[in-house]
């Protein structure tokens, strides 16, 4: 929701609760003994106050810059709100000849108590939000690219913002070599030539560019990072008519031109996450039940942990621990180095026929039926993975990716994906995997996810393409 009066739902609810609490406290303090009839009138007055408060919110823009206000500006804003609510309350009571029912002392005391509680509520909420935003696990990481002067300006504005979801991950200066130096307390991590290499080896979600003297470089750089699925913000609007899906936005008070390959609606993203949660819950329960059966078999054949865990690389380079039922011997990772010459996949992925590391019998069975994948539903429930996405690479595979192969990491990795239903045993070229994943990312929609899930179930039951 873009309108200020509707997007701050936390402050709206907090203000209403603060006012209702003030009303309740003053009613109890001013009436030692409340008969039922008088209590009903004060309950109705409480409802009226909530309605008036919501009406004032709907017709004013009182939450504009609420997160950036200082203490003095906030108390002024709270006083204005309470005075308007109080004035409308009095007008209503006189208009309907109800003023004689209520104590004037209680009405005026509620006004001052409301100011006190609402001001305190807003300060506490701001404190909580600042702390929460500062500890967001999946904060949007931002790389700043610009001339030394522009970099200084942008970093100042980013740091001046009271609340931000952005964490500065890297800084590159384009008009001189300042690598190793600091600008406004931020380390310059790369020079102009090293930018693609830096982005490819670090967790970067979005790029902020400002090189006003070289718009062609800005455009070229924007297209470069758009090609691997990153979001790009450009400080200037002109010169970029050929970039896709442009829209003007603000980042910490800076007007920028934001570009992206395609826009995903909030509803679609929410539906995908809800589908992941539902699937994750069901899959996790099934994983527990399957583990009761296959777990002892795995342990008997190959003593050791039943669950295999490994660090994998997820969205935009984020590392997470993936879980599977162990289908290989305990020393499988060490033996992998000696088997690389038998790898049937051309590129940054490993696969071989008759892998000697697989536990005979039970190992082949759970891999063929994909039962070994079920613990990954816990990863989906945690939010590290999705039901549908791209295969998460191992760390050593990721470190060998070319710049353009990073596009596979533009979305969350998935338990299944487009290449799994396209005959995964038959694909022997990693570039073909990248092409299929890129098509999925560019053309994603909910219907496609549902089709992939249904086709995955069909592939599992027909045992076509599994390994």
Query: Rounded to whole angstroms, how far apart are CA atoms 398 and 405?
Result: 9
Return the H-helix or E-strand segment holding 169. Answer: strand 166-173
Tell me what pLDDT residue 138 has: 57
Query: How far is 203 from 199, CA to CA, in rounded Å?
Result: 7
DSSP 400: T
Which residues, including other chains, have CB under 8 Å from residue 267's CB and lie 6 or more apart?
Answer: none
pLDDT at 233: 92
Show me where the domains of the chain are located: 4-134, 140-259, 266-462
Question: What does the pLDDT read at residue 240?
Answer: 63
The CATH-assigned architecture of domain 140-259 is 3-Layer(aba) Sandwich (3.40)
Q: What is the DSSP letter of 146?
A: E
Q: How far apart are CA 247 and CA 267, in angstroms?
A: 19
Per the CB < 8 A criterion, the answer to whether 106 and 26 are in contact is: yes
Closest CA to 359 of 395, 396, 311, 306: 306
Is the Cβ–Cβ distance between 389 and 417 less than 8 Å? yes
For 358-367, letters b (16+ CB in 10 Å) and e give bbeebbeebb
Of 231, 266, 262, nearest in space to 249 by CA: 231
| Polymer length of the chain | 467
- Where the chain has pLDDT below 70, the residues are 1-7, 31-34, 133-138, 162-163, 237-242, 347, 423-426, 463-467
Q: Are 453 and 387 in contact (CB under 8 A)?
A: yes
Instruction: State pTM to two decimals.
Output: 0.66
Query: What's the pLDDT score for residue 184?
Result: 93
CA distance 24 to 42: 9
Q: Are the beta carbons of 292 and 281 closer than 8 angstroms?
A: no
- Written as six digits, the tokens of 210 are 């400002």
Residue-wise pLDDT tens digits, 113-160: 999 999 999 999 988 887 776 665 557 899 999 999 999 989 998 888
Per-residue pLDDT, 134: 61
Q: Tokens 């045992």 sit at which residue? A: 463
DSSP code of residue 394: B
Q: pLDDT of 360-389, one tens digit each? A: 999 999 988 889 999 999 999 999 999 999
Long-range contacts of 216-221 (CB under 8 A, 24+ apart): 217/174, 219/243, 221/145, 221/195
Q: How far apart are CA 280 and CA 277, in angstroms?
A: 5
The pair of structure tokens assigned to 467 is 């390994």
What is the pLDDT, as a whole number, of residue 426? 65
From residue 233, alpha-carbon distances to 73, 171, 174, 197 in Å are 31, 14, 16, 19
Rg of the chain over all Cα atoms, to the nearest angstrom? 29
> Which conformational region is residue 97 in: left (phi greater than 0), alpha (psi within -120 to 50 degrees), or beta?
left
């Amino acid at each position: 929701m873009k309108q200020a009066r509707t997007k701050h739902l936390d402050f709206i609810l907090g203000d209403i609760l603060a006012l209702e609490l003030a009303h309740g406290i003053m009613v109890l303090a001013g009436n030692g003994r409340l008969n039922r009839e008088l209590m009903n009138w004060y309950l109705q007055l409480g409802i009226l106050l909530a309605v008036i408060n919501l009406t004032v919110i709907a017709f004013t823009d009182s939450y504009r810059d609420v997160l950036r206000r200082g203490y003095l500006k906030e108390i002024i804003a709270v006083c204005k709100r309470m005075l308007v609510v109080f004035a409308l309350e009095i007008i209503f009571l006189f208009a309907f000849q109800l003023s004689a029912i209520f104590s004037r002392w209680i009405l005026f005391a509620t006004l001052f108590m409301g100011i006190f509680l609402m001001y305190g509520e807003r300060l506490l909420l701001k404190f909580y939000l600042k702390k929460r935003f500062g500890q967001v696990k999946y904060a949007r990481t931002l790389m700043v690219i610009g001339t030394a002067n522009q970099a200084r300006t942008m970093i100042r504005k980013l740091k001046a913002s009271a609340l931000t979801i952005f964490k500065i991950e890297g800084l590159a200066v384009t008009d001189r070599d300042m690598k190793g130096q600091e600008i406004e307390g931020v380390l310059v991590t790369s020079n102009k030539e090293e930018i693609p290499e830096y982005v490819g080896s670090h967790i970067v979600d979005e790029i902020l560019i400002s090189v006003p003297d070289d718009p062609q470089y800005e455009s070229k750089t924007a297209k470069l990072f758009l090609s691997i699925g990153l979001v790009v913000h450009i400080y200037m609007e002109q010169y970029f008519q050929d970039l896709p899906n442009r829209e003007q936005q603000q980042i910490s008070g800076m007007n920028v031109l934001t570009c992206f390959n395609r826009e995903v609606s909030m509803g679609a993203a929410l539906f995908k996450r809800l589908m992941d949660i539902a699937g994750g819950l069901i899959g996790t329960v099934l994983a527990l039940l399957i583990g009761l059966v296959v777990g002892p078999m795995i342990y008997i054949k190959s003593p050791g942990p039943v669950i295999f865990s490994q660090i994998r690389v997820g969205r935009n380079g984020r590392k997470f621990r993936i879980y599977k039922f162990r289908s290989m011997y305990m020393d499988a990772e060490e033996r992998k180095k000696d088997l690389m010459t038998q790898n049937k996949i051309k590129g940054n992925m490993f696969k071989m026929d008759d892998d000697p590391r697989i536990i005979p019998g039970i190992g082949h069975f759970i891999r063929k039926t994909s039962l070994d994948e079920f613990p990954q539903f816990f990863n989906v429930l945690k939010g590290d993975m999705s039901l549908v996405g791209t295969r998460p690479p191992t760390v050593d595979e990721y470190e060998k990716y070319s710049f353009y192969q990073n596009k596979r990491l533009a979305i969350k990795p998935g338990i299944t994906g487009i290449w799994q239903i396209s005959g995964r045993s038959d694909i022997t070229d990693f570039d073909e995997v990248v092409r299929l994943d890129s098509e999925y990312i560019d053309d994603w929609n909910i219907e496609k996810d549902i089709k992939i899930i249904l086709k995955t179930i069909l592939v599992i039951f027909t045992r076509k393409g599994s390994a």
